A and B are shown apart, each in its own frame.
Chain A
Amino acid sequence: MNIIVPIKQVPDLVEELEINADGTDLDREWLKMKLNEFDDHALEEALLMKDESGANVTAIALDGDDIDKALYAAAAKGADRLVKVTGATGNSTHQAAKALANAIQGMDYDLVMTGVQSVDDRDGQLAVILAHYLGNSHVSVVTGVQASGGSVTVQKEYGAGMVAEFEAATPVVLGIQAARETPRYVPVAKVRRAQKSSTIEEVAAGDAAADAGSTVSKMYKPETGAGAEMIDGSAEDQAAKVIEILTQKGVK
């Protein structure tokens, strides 16, 4: 079984986010990037399937800041093949999906598994859009995948802990919400070794004309703290004030 895992870097939300001079996007100059956490889960689920039944796992990403590092980290975790799609422009999901579809169409695959969403996919989640450009079926919000023959059984999470099970003939694209296990960790030294021992293949994006179909007029921070009355002071002072509030509201 051949599994392709599209991955991407996203801004690390632990850092302060600044808005650019136009007020339409993040100021990307000093942005600290990290692997989309859901892509990490997609990669983990693919690697678990490899561990179980010997699947071949390809990590693929659009060219961009820090992407080589993310691909080498995927290799260090167990990905067999690394592909970087070059020459793609724009940052919408539709454009990314089109470029990835062009690259993936030329590859031999049974499953495409990627993160269910990312923090910046304003024009929609990648998995479903990629599936439709590829002409494949898809299921999103997946928390478990079992392969057998020419199909997979997947568990899709609804709200309130309810899960629906579907059977999908391959090839199929899955949006992964969570892997069965916590994504594996690789030490930096192992990533450095992977950097020396593995190669990143480059594939041209080709005609990736696609349109998000909308333009951003304004980016702004929501009014933080507008709702909450902030309690200042030391931890002891704050705790005392919280007790007072709980007593006053009849909770305690």
Chain B
Amino acid sequence: MSNQIIVVVEHLKGNIEDITFEMLGKGKEIAGATGGELVALLLGNGADGLAGQLGAADKVIYVDDANLAEYNPQAYCKAVTQIVQANSPKMVLIGNTSMGMDIAGGVSVDANLPFIAYASGIANDGSSVTSSLYGGKMNVDSTPSGDGCIVSVIAGSFPADAGKADGSPSVENATVDVSGLSVTFKQLIEPEGGDVDITQQEILVSVGRGIQSDENLPMAEELAAKLGGAISCSRPIVDSKWLAKTRQVGKSGLKVKPKLYLALGISGAPEHIEGMKDADLIIAVNTDPKAPIFDYAHYGVVQDLFDFIPALSGKL
């Protein structure tokens, strides 16, 4: 085993995603505490220009291949596995993101390495990883049993600023075999423009499962209108087709940072928290006093929504 901490760089349309910088920041702490080397693994085709943004790393391993021109689950699995096998790192950090969820488990099987998912914390000596499980209701600390392990990191768990450094880390070009693919990239589909851009709203009234029925939405919409804001929601509301995808806050939706985020009947699963925890003021209303949303809210109200919403509306 080497002393390397490898961070798999996530990029889309020429932009490095924040999760990469979050992992580089944490990776730097681990590398510092263990005397290790922090390596950013960049995969692409003509993407070496991105290395200049990866100054937090001691070294960038860059793989250039036509099959890596666009993100491809199968090509990424093959490439990351081969780099990991060639370098035997102490730890591999991969985002617990849409892309990372394709990669981490596959590398775990093919490189025969332990995999700990949903990491929200990592001990700086690398000996323990905290996973946020059961919808954020339980934390679980795990100890990797062998040499080397893969950790998938929940976005927003570590500050991105700590991993943002311009500079010219040394770039090591590597080649891997990513031929013989049975999955091919076809196209990127941009989100449809919505009637309201929730990322630009200063006040969001956000509804979750607790709203129970689309018949109860007008009550929340009225409240949003009285507050001068817009309505947004958590994933189940979009899956039920009660609100458009453009209103969804969270991992697979939008990241918002309003002046006020009023969370109504949202329990606060990690996937949702990712999208709203940086709001200036978070007020959460839920019937469950143990709902994880109260960990992230500034103010908490344990109350039946259908009593609270009219009470608040009535005072505006």
Chain A residues packing against B (C-beta within 8 Å): 11, 13, 16-17, 19, 26, 41, 93-94, 116-117, 119-125, 127-129, 131-133, 137-141, 153, 155-169, 172, 175, 177-178, 182, 211-231, 235-236, 238-240, 242-243, 245-246, 249, 251-252
Q: Identify A213's interface contact among B17, B77, B114, B284, CB under 8 A.
A: B114
| A residues in contact with B144, CB < 8 Å | 213-214
The answer to whether A153 and B186 touch across the interface, beta carbons within 8 angstroms, is yes
| B residues in contact with A119, CB < 8 Å | 133-135
How many Å lie between the Cα of A37 and that of B121 in the bound state? 26
Given the contacts A139-B183, A161-B245, A167-B183, A214 and B116 also touching, CB distance less than 8 Å:
yes
Least CB distance, A119 to chain B, in whole angstroms: 5
| A residues in contact with B101, CB < 8 Å | 116-117, 125, 128, 140-141, 175
The answer to whether B298 and A228 touch across the interface, beta carbons within 8 angstroms, is yes
> Can you name the residue of chain B whose Cβ is closest to the Cβ of A136?
B182
| A residues in contact with B12, CB < 8 Å | 158, 162
Return the CB mask of B7-32 against A: 1 if under 8 Å, else 0: 00000100001000000000000000
How many Å lie between the Cα of A245 and that of B240 in the bound state? 33
Q: Identify A122's interface contact among B116, B294, B296, CB under 8 A.
A: B116
The answer to whether B186 and A165 touch across the interface, beta carbons within 8 angstroms, is yes
The answer to whether B316 and A161 touch across the interface, beta carbons within 8 angstroms, is no
The answer to whether A227 and B98 touch across the interface, beta carbons within 8 angstroms, is no
Sorted nearest first, the 6 A-B pairs with minimum C-beta distance are A213-B114, A161-B191, A228-B300, A132-B109, A128-B105, A239-B311
**Which residues, 130 to 176 on B, are CB-close (under 8 Å) to A?**
131-146, 149, 152
Given the contacts A213-B149, A228-B300, A124 and B115 also touching, CB distance less than 8 Å:
yes
Q: Show 19 residue pairs from A and B whose CB-CB distance is below 8 angstroms, ordered by the A residue.
A: A11-B134, A117-B101, A120-B134, A124-B104, A128-B77, A137-B182, A139-B73, A160-B255, A162-B189, A164-B187, A165-B188, A217-B142, A220-B138, A220-B141, A221-B138, A225-B294, A226-B295, A230-B294, A252-B316
Least CB distance, B146 to chain A, in whole angstroms: 6
The answer to whether A242 and B104 touch across the interface, beta carbons within 8 angstroms, is no
Given the contacts A139-B73, A224-B292, A242 and B142 also touching, CB distance less than 8 Å:
no
The answer to whether A17 and B134 touch across the interface, beta carbons within 8 angstroms, is yes
| B residues in contact with A125, CB < 8 Å | 101, 105, 117
The answer to whether A177 and B149 touch across the interface, beta carbons within 8 angstroms, is no
Given the contacts A122-B131, A252-B227, A141 and B117 also touching, CB distance less than 8 Å:
no
How many Å lie between the Cα of A227 and that of B284 in the bound state? 11
The answer to whether A213 and B191 touch across the interface, beta carbons within 8 angstroms, is no
The answer to whether A123 and B115 touch across the interface, beta carbons within 8 angstroms, is yes
How many Å lie between the Cα of A224 and that of B136 in the bound state? 10
> Can you name the residue of chain A whose Cβ is closest to the Cβ of B267?
A13
> Can you name the residue of chain A whose Cβ is closest to the Cβ of B146?
A213
Size bracket, chain B contacts: 35 or more
| B residues in contact with A159, CB < 8 Å | 17, 97-98, 251-253, 255
| A residues in contact with B188, CB < 8 Å | 162-165
Q: Identify A235's interface contact among B17, B239, B307, CB under 8 A.
A: B307
Given the contacts A17-B138, A139-B183, A249 and B281 also touching, CB distance less than 8 Å:
yes
| B residues in contact with A167, CB < 8 Å | 183-184, 186
Q: Identify A216's interface contact among B141, B152, B253, CB under 8 A.
A: B141
Least CB distance, A110 to chain B, in whole angstroms: 13
Q: Identify A239's interface contact among B183, B294, B308, CB under 8 A.
A: B308
The answer to whether A238 and B308 touch across the interface, beta carbons within 8 angstroms, is yes
Given the contacts A133-B109, A213-B114, A162 and B300 also touching, CB distance less than 8 Å:
no
Given the contacts A13-B134, A137-B74, A156-B98, A214 and B142 also touching, CB distance less than 8 Å:
yes
| A residues in contact with B89, CB < 8 Å | none
Q: Identify A217's interface contact among B98, B143, B152, B311, CB under 8 A.
A: B143
Given contacts A166-B72, A219-B141, A230-B289, 5 further A-B contacts (CB under 8 A): A155-B189, A161-B192, A166-B185, A229-B298, A251-B227
The answer to whether A215 and B143 touch across the interface, beta carbons within 8 angstroms, is yes
The answer to whether B254 and A160 touch across the interface, beta carbons within 8 angstroms, is yes
Q: Does B49 contact A (CB under 8 A)?
A: no
| B residues in contact with A131, CB < 8 Å | 106
Least CB distance, B171 to chain A, in whole angstroms: 26
How many Å lie between the Cα of A155 and that of B186 in the bound state? 10
| A residues in contact with B253, CB < 8 Å | 159-161
The answer to whether B187 and A165 touch across the interface, beta carbons within 8 angstroms, is yes
> Can you name the residue of chain B whose Cβ is closest to the Cβ of A181?
B241
> Can you name the residue of chain A whose Cβ is closest to the Cβ of B310?
A235
Least CB distance, B129 to chain A, in whole angstroms: 8
> Can you name the residue of chain B whose Cβ is closest to the Cβ of A229?
B299
| B residues in contact with A127, CB < 8 Å | 105
The answer to whether A220 and B143 touch across the interface, beta carbons within 8 angstroms, is no
Q: Does B302 contact A (CB under 8 A)?
A: yes
| A residues in contact with B301, CB < 8 Å | 230-231, 238, 242
